Amino acid sequence: MAHSLSAKKRIRQNLKRRLRNRANKSAMKTQIKKFDQTLLEGKDAETITKSLREAQKKIDCLAAKGVIHRHAAARKKSQLMRRMAAQKKTV
């Protein structure tokens, strides 16, 4: 256990940040799952595009905050776009 006040404060800060980051990552994953669900349900193109934009927005926000790396954000967005393109190709 930390002894100095600054080390104790750092532990408290890290705990708060870890919980906030975990909640944000979970929200991002939920958005991605919602996008996948709209693809599976075969909704119209407008609904799919709206869902994609929401997921991309969440990913971009987390990358800007530094919760996820910017390259990881780009990779996730690319994966979403590929899924949407594959869905359009089959329909």
pLDDT at 91 over 70: no
pLDDT greater than 90 at residue 60: yes
What is residue 88's predicted lDDT score, i.e. its pLDDT?
Answer: 81
This prediction's pTM: 0.87
d(CA 80, CA 54): 11
Q: Is residue 29 pLDDT above 70, yes or no? A: yes
Q: What is the DSSP string of 36-87?
A: HHHHHHT--HHHHHHHHHHHHHHHHHHHHHTSS-HHHHHHHHHHHHHHHHHH
Q: Where are the domains of the chain?
A: 5-90
Q: Which CATH class is domain 5-90?
A: mainly alpha
